[in-house]
Amino acid sequence: MSRLKMTPVLFALVLLLGTLASASFHGSVQAACQPGQMHEANLAYKSAEQFINGKQWDQAIARMNSIVEVCPEHVEASRGLGTAFMGKGNFDIAAKWFSKVVQLRGKDVQAGDFANLAKAYAKLKQYKQARAEYMKAEKLEPDDCGVLFNLGVMHYATKYHTDSVETLQRALGVCPQYKDPILKQLAKSADAAAKQQQINGNVDKANYYKNLMNEYSGAAGGSTTYDLVKKKMAAKQYQEASVLLKRMLAKDPKQPNAWLTLARASDGAGDKAGSIKAYNKYFELKPSDAKNYGTMIQVMVEAGQCSAAAQKAASGSKRMAGQSKEKLASLYYSWGLALECQEDFAGAKSKFQVAASSGSRTYAGPARTQVGRMEDFLKMTDAQRKKAAQK
């Protein structure tokens, strides 16, 4: 979980980010240590604390174990053991020690104690338990940035998506200085909430969360938006992907990959004119991409712009003449489609022949098939011409 505000809660979270060791959990309850023993234990803890600060986990565990053997109710040593085991990666043992801290402190328990335990559960992927502990921490520290952010993430992990949005919105208001990580998670949570509401038949709520997702993803920046775009494209939600991309490009139009993805999304959504426009923007930034240039020509043909498509292909072939036949295969194949669309079967055949001889695994085979088709069309038109001449 991301660390935000350096409160006692967050300091506890920072300590959890190390690597852990192997030692036993002293769960047996021993007799309370005497005042003199507690004094000695406190002195021993001060010297042992340096091992925690230095991330010397094995030494820390040995020292802390010796303290709790004498004084099992020593809170700081129990917490130190939890921290050391977290540092070594023994999250299950760490959870036991942090749980013991909560029990020892009783009514004096603090939000950081619950947050430590929640962190251990989260590392164990026991997200429901982690969520429950963060909720306890939130009651004690309702404005702690780390607690709010991590609780929002745990709501999301346990599919309480609307709760995640609400909690993270509160975090955004309380902790604007950490808006970037909050906005990034907010966009994901709002997107998940929209899908959840859509499945449940709550159309108005689904639209509400969709709008929030668009708002937060745009505010979060390009990387967050593009992550969502990839999900939308994979799910064939082309219209939603287009909306996100347009917002992204309005802020920074010099992103060739975004223009290319917008061209594909618009095409998938049936917006041929929008797709062609986006392709043209892409080629202003990437003029030598022959493969995608051929795809644009094909979209133009599908849009009925056959003459313009043929002209585009001719100008593109001149500009990219230095590239290999294999790289130009897409362009020549689509050029053939544009000429076929104009019933120039001889011209189309010549372009398909170039693609057929290109060695391209993608276009050579289909191009050979097209060459045969063009020969059939030429025979047919020749027969029709002879028949007309005889009449």
| Residue extents of the structural domains in the chain | 1-141, 287-391
Q: How many CB atoms lie within 10 A of CB 249?
A: 19
Find the mean pLDDT for residues 359-376.
94
Q: What is the pLDDT of residue 43?
A: 80
In the predicted model, is pLDDT for residue 70 greater than 70? yes
C-alpha span between 88 and 179 (Å, rounded):
31
- Residues 305-335: tens digit of each pLDDT: 999 999 999 999 999 988 999 999 999 999 9
Which pTM was predicted? 0.57
* SS3 state of residue 201: coil
Are residues 158 and 192 in contact, defined by beta-carbon separation less than 8 angstroms?
Answer: no
Q: How many CB atoms lie within 10 A of CB 343?
A: 11
In the predicted model, is pLDDT for residue 3 greater than 70? no
Architecture of the structural domain at 287-391: Alpha Horseshoe (1.25)
Find the mean pLDDT for residues 337-341.
95
Which amino acid would we find at residue 362? T
Which amino acid would we find at residue 31? A
Start-end of H helices in 54-160: 57-70, 75-88, 91-105, 111-123, 127-140, 145-157
C-alpha span between 301 and 155 (Å, rounded):
48
Mean pLDDT lowest among 8-12, 63-67, 119-123, 356-360: 8-12
In the predicted model, is pLDDT for residue 86 greater than 80? yes
Query: pLDDT-based confidence at 176, cuts 50/70/90?
Result: confident
Question: For the structural domain made of 1-141, what CATH number should be given?
Answer: 1.25.40.10
Q: Which residue has the tokens 């897409």?
A: 330
Which amino acid would we find at residue 89? G
Find the mean pLDDT for residues 207-218.
84
In the predicted model, is pLDDT for residue 366 greater than 60? yes
Are residues 101 and 79 in contact, defined by beta-carbon separation less than 8 angstroms?
Answer: yes
C-alpha span between 270 and 259 (Å, rounded):
16
Does residue 304 come out as left (phi exceeding 0), alpha (psi in the -120 to 50 range) or beta? left
In the predicted model, is pLDDT for residue 11 greater than 50? no
The proportion of the chain whose per-residue pLDDT surpasses 90, expressed as a percent, equals 60
Q: Which residues contact 265 (CB under 8 A, 6 or more apart)?
A: 229, 232, 233, 238, 239, 241, 242, 245
In the predicted model, is pLDDT for residue 27 greater than 50? no
Higher local confidence (pLDDT), 248 or 15: 248
Q: What is the pLDDT of residue 4?
A: 41
Q: Do domains 1-141 and 287-391 have the same CATH topology?
A: yes
